[in-house]
Copies of this chain bind each other. A is one copy, B any other.
Amino acid sequence: MEKERETLQAWKERVGHELDRVMAFWLEHSHDPEHGGFFTCLGRDGRVYDDLKYVWLQGRQVWMYCRLYRKLERFHRPELLDAAKAGGEFLLRSARVAPPAKKCAFVLTRDGRPVKVQRTIFSECFYTMAMNELWRVTGEARYQSEAVEMMDQIVRWVREDPSGLGRPQLPGAVALESMAVPMMLLSLVEQLSEEDEELAGRYARLGDWCAQRILQHVQRDGQAVLENVSENGEELSGCLGRHQNPGHALEAGWFLLRHSTRRGDPKLRAHVIDKFLLLPFRSGWDPDHGGLFYFQDADGLCPTQLEWAMKLWWPHSEAMIAFLMGYSESGDPALLRLFYQVAEYTFHQFRDPEHGEWFGYLNREGKVALTIKGGPFKGCFHVPRCLAMCEEMLSALLSRLA
C-alpha cells in the first residue's frame, strides 16, 4: 500500500514537472507576437522552420492554454490568457475561408490567408473547442456565440447534409464512417456541456448517438476495433475496411469511459475497458520493441501506409490517459500496471531531456525518426492534455488512498 502510494506520488511529480517543461517550450517558442496565433513548426531546439499556421493546432493550443489557465493554479498566468486571446482573435479573423460561411481552412499563412481547405470537419471542431474555452475564461458572450453556431453547423454537416463539405459523390465510393467523426463530436458535446445544464440537455441525445456510433466500430464479434465501418455499422472490404489505429481506439476508449461515467453505466464501462483499452493494446503493442504501432491490418496483412510501424507520440499519450482513467474508474490493478508500462516507455522514448517537449515520431525500433518538436500535426495539445489529466487523476488516486 505504501509502495503503491510512493509510486503514484512519484508519477504525479514526474508528470507535473514534465507538464511545466512542456508548456515552457511552447510559451517560449510558439507565440506570434505580430499576428497572434501560434507557430507549430518548431525544430528540435524550438526554432521555427515554417510559419504556416495549421488551424486544428491553432484551435487546440487556444483550448489548451485556456483550460490550463482555469484548471491549474500555476498556469493561471496572464501570458497564457493573453496568448490564448490573441490566438482566438486570429482564428476569428482568419479561420473561415469565406465568411459568413462556416467552412474553415486547414492551413493559413502566418498572416491568416487560407492556403488549403480539407473537406472534413476537424478545423471547425477545434475552432469550436477554442471558442467555448475562451468564453469560459473571459466571460465574453461573443466567443460562446461563435462556439454554438459553429457546433450547429458541424452537427448539420454530420447528421443532416454533408454536401456543404464539398465531397464528391462517386459511384464506386462506399458510404463509410470513420471513427474520428463521432469521436470528435462526442468530444465537443462534452466540452460544451461542462457545467452548462442547458447545453448538456440540448446535446444529450447527440452524445448518446456519438457513443453508439463509436461502439459500432467494435467488429468481428468483438474481436477487433476497425477505424472505418459502413454507414450501417458493418465491416467494409479491402484495406480500408481492415484498417486499424490502436491509438485512436484507446483515445475513443477514454472518451467513452467519460461518457459511461456521465451516464452512470458500469456495464458500458466494462465493455469499453475490454474492447477499447485491452483489445487494441494487446494487438497494437509491439512485443519486440515496445510501443504502439501507428496502424495495423485486422487480418494481420501488411498495411499500405509507409509509416504503419512507426511509434507516434499521441497514441502513447492517449494510452496513458486511457489506462489511468480505466484504473480510476474500475479499480482493476491490471490497468494501473498497463499505465505504468506505457508511461515508462513513453517517457523514455519520446522525451527530450535536452531541449524539452517530446519527439513526435520514432521508427519501429523506437529510435527518433524526425527531430521536429512540432509540425503540421503535432502542436501544444496531446502531450500537455495527457500530463494535466494524469496529474489530476494521480492526485485523486492519492487522495483516495489517504
User: Contact at B51–A238, with CB atoms within 8 Å?
Assistant: yes
Residues of B within 8 A of A306 (CB): 306-307, 310, 361, 369-370
With most chain B CB atoms within 10 A of its CB, the pick from A52, A171, A172, A369 is A172
Within 8 Å by CB of A113, from B115, B171, B238, B309, lies B171
Within 8 Å by CB of A375, from B168, B170, B304, B371, lies B304
Q: Give the dominant DSSP class at A's interface.
A: loop
A239-B41, A239-B49 as given contacts; A113 in contact with B302, CB under 8 Å = no
Give bound CA distance, A306 to B368, whole Å: 11
A211 within 8 A of B: no
Q: B-facing mask of A97-116, CB < 8 A → 1, else 0?
A: 10000000100110011111
With most chain B CB atoms within 10 A of its CB, the pick from A109, A112, A302 is A302
Give bound CA distance, A60 to B44, whole Å: 41
Residues of B within 8 A of A108 (CB): 172
A50 within 8 A of B: yes
Question: In chain B, what residue has the closest Cβ to A372?
Answer: B302
Residues of B within 8 A of A114 (CB): 170-173
Question: In chain B, what residue has the closest Cβ to A168?
Answer: B117
Question: In chain B, what residue has the closest Cβ to A303?
Answer: B370
Question: In chain B, what residue has the closest Cβ to A368?
Answer: B302
User: Contact at B369–A50, with CB atoms within 8 Å?
Assistant: no
A301 within 8 A of B: yes
Within 8 Å by CB of A238, from B52, B97, B168, B172, lies B52
**A341-398 contacts to B (CB < 8 Å):** 361, 363-364, 369-372, 375-376
Residues of B within 8 A of A97 (CB): 170
A308 within 8 A of B: yes
**A37-85 contacts to B (CB < 8 Å):** 41, 43-44, 49-52
A contact residues, range: 35 or more
Residues of B within 8 A of A112 (CB): 172
Give bound CA distance, A44 to B300, whole Å: 13
Residues of B within 8 A of A44 (CB): 302
- Shortest beta-carbon distance from A312 to chain B in Å: 8
Give bound CA distance, A105 to B364, whole Å: 34
Give bound CA distance, A300 to B321, whole Å: 36
Residues of B within 8 A of A168 (CB): 117
User: Contact at B371–A302, with CB atoms within 8 Å?
Assistant: yes
Residues of B within 8 A of A52 (CB): 238-239
Residues of B within 8 A of A307 (CB): 306-307
Residues of B within 8 A of A302 (CB): 43-44, 49, 370-372
User: Contact at A115–B310, with CB atoms within 8 Å?
Assistant: no
**A295-319 contacts to B (CB < 8 Å):** 301-304, 306-310
Give bound CA distance, A171 to B43, whole Å: 27
User: Contact at A376–B304, with CB atoms within 8 Å?
Assistant: yes
- Shortest beta-carbon distance from A45 to chain B in Å: 11
Q: B-facing mask of A1-34, CB < 8 A → 1, else 0?
A: 0000000000000000000000000000000000
Q: A43-B301, A302-B372, A306-B306 are in contact. List 20 more A-B contacts (CB 8 A).
A: A50-B238, A50-B304, A51-B238, A52-B238, A105-B170, A105-B172, A113-B170, A113-B171, A114-B170, A114-B172, A114-B173, A115-B172, A117-B170, A304-B370, A304-B372, A306-B361, A306-B369, A307-B307, A308-B370, A309-B369
In the complex, the 8 A-B pairs of residues with the closest C-beta atoms, listed nearest first: A113-B172, A306-B307, A109-B172, A115-B172, A50-B238, A113-B171, A302-B371, A114-B170
